[in-house]
Structure 1
Amino acid sequence: MSIVPIDRRTRKRLATRQAISDAAARLFDAHGFDRVTVDEIAEAADVGRMTVFNHFPRKEDMFFDLDDAAREQVRAVLRQSDPEIGPIETLRLFAHQVVAEQRDYVRFFDASPRFMQTIAESETLKARARAIRDELAAVVQEGLAERAGQDRSDADAQLAANLLLATWGVAFVQAYQTFERNRDEAEAQRILLALIDQGSIGIKAAMAGSPYA
């Protein structure tokens, strides 16, 4: 399969976005999220204030800069998956795939505990984290319903989506806590996948008889 090259304009846009994200991350780490202004981020990235907002509508979006990519990948995997495999199993397998591929949002670094601490210290970030969770649940609900040929407001799809997000939420928190204790990324990822596997068994049982099991 041929790879479509990225044009120069797109490369420049992505490079600017990454420069803003990197500058924001350095400032957040040094001073804390709430003490850093958008103007300071713009200056550190050597761009204008409006350029920052063109790439990140909210300051907190710079902190959760991997959210968009992760959400789009979840949407894509539900749309493109094997129809012979149930959607809950599809997402369980997707978790194993992204860990095997070491995608950024399932990596654990020395800065990971500080990342979680920064969220805990900021009401703005905690609120945004809850909103991201709800947005992702909506993406999963829509993807599940679409695959099953149901209306996106289907109650079973909503239940399955929220059970999945609860499972993944617990798995990530436990994985972060494991990494904080021993700084062992492989062990943190093992805990992450073990809890997703365990939770998926329960969700399949809960959704038995529905098109989502």
Structure 2
Amino acid sequence: MPRTAERGGPQTRAKISQVATRLFLERGFDAVTVAEVARAAGVSSVTVFKHFPRKEDLLLDREIDAADILRSAVRDRADGTDVRASLREASLRLLDERHALSGVADGSVPFFRTVAASPALIARAREIAAELQQTLTVELDRDPRFAGDPALFAAFFVAGYGTVLVETARRLVAGDPADAVAADHRVRVERLFQALREGV
């Protein structure tokens, strides 16, 4: 194996993730081992675990992106901009871009089916949601411009956004037209933020 294949960095991480995702979607998460992913990506299992501490994170690899979006929505909003408005803008931007975190990205259905078929992936997704909730709580707690209850707000937002995503995934897997699902996704995001404005 060439030494260059073992070097770390974003390109190696991206290659491992792409290879793992292809294998998981083709054969199912539980049917593919980390050793098989490593061989297909041309790296060692040690290198895989260097970039992805858990097998589940090979497929659920957007937690860092999601955490960065939450932090930016709190930290980088203009003075006088409510955090609800900042999070709403970020959520709708993900939708408009058909970002993977929006749930409406092209090719999402095989991903959703793979996750739904694996108890390990479902459990990890719940852990990630809890970790993101904690991330948002910490950011809000540090922000003197936020006057509400950080933990309560973060719990409502993360749970609410997760509920929107699950329904979007359900409808796409059921075969509903993607444009109609995206439009309904937007409506439910707006309802979420209406509830956050009126209730938290």
Matched ranges for 1:46-195 at <5 A: 46-106=42-102, 108=104, 111-148=107-144, 156-182=149-175, 184-195=177-188
1:196 equivalent to 2:192? Answer: no
Q: Compared with structure 1, are the counterparts of its residues 124 and 185 closer, same or farther at alpha carbon in structure 2 (3 Å cutoff)? A: same
1:205 maps to 198
State how many pairs are aligned.
194
Question: Cα deviations across residues 133-178 of structure 1 (Å, max 9, x unaligned)?
Answer: 001111111122222367xxx9821111111112101111122223
Q: State how far apart, in whole Å, the 1-side matches of 2:117 and 2:103 are.
A: 22
Q: State how far apart, in whole Å, the 1-side matches of 2:104 and 2:194 are.
A: 25
- TM-score after normalising by structure 2: 0.87
Gaps of at least 5 residues in structure 1 are 1-11, 208-213
Query: Would you say the 8 A contact 2:23–2:37 is kept in 1?
Result: yes
Query: Would you say the 8 A contact 1:20–1:42 is kept in 2?
Result: yes
Q: State how far apart, in whole Å, the 2-side matches of 1:178 and 1:134 are.
A: 24
Query: Percent same amino acid at aligned positions?
Result: 30
The residue type equivalent to 1:160 in the other structure is: F
- TM-score after normalising by structure 1: 0.82
The residue type equivalent to 2:76 in the other structure is: Q
Task: From 12, 23, 26, give the equivalent of 1:16.
Answer: 12
Q: State how far apart, in whole Å, the 2-side matches of 1:161 and 1:87 are.
A: 11
Give the secondary-structure state (helix, strand or coil) at the position aligned to 2:143.
helix
Query: Would you say the 8 A contact 1:20–1:52 is kept in 2?
Result: yes
1:41 maps to 37
Deviation at 1:187, TM superposition (A): 2.6
The residue type equivalent to 2:63 in the other structure is: D
Deviation at 1:107, TM superposition (A): 5.3
The residue type equivalent to 1:87 in the other structure is: V
Query: Would you say the 8 A contact 1:20–1:45 is kept in 2?
Result: yes
Query: Would you say the 8 A contact 1:171–1:191 is kept in 2?
Result: no
Q: Compared with structure 1, are the counterparts of its residues 48 and 122 closer, same or farther at alpha carbon in structure 2 (3 Å cutoff)? A: same
Query: Would you say the 8 A contact 2:103–2:169 is kept in 1?
Result: no
Q: State how far apart, in whole Å, the 1-side matches of 2:56 and 2:141 are.
A: 30
Q: Compared with structure 1, are the counterparts of its residues 109 and 101 closer, same or farther at alpha carbon in structure 2 (3 Å cutoff)? A: closer
Q: Compared with structure 1, are the counterparts of its residues 109 and 156 closer, same or farther at alpha carbon in structure 2 (3 Å cutoff)? A: closer
Query: Would you say the 8 A contact 2:103–2:168 is kept in 1?
Result: no
Query: Would you say the 8 A contact 2:116–2:122 is kept in 1?
Result: yes
The residue type equivalent to 1:75 in the other structure is: R
Query: Would you say the 8 A contact 1:171–1:193 is kept in 2?
Result: no
Task: Write out the 4+ residue segments of structure 1 that deviate beyond 4 Å after TM superposition.
Answer: none
Aligned-pair RMSD on alpha carbons? 2.3
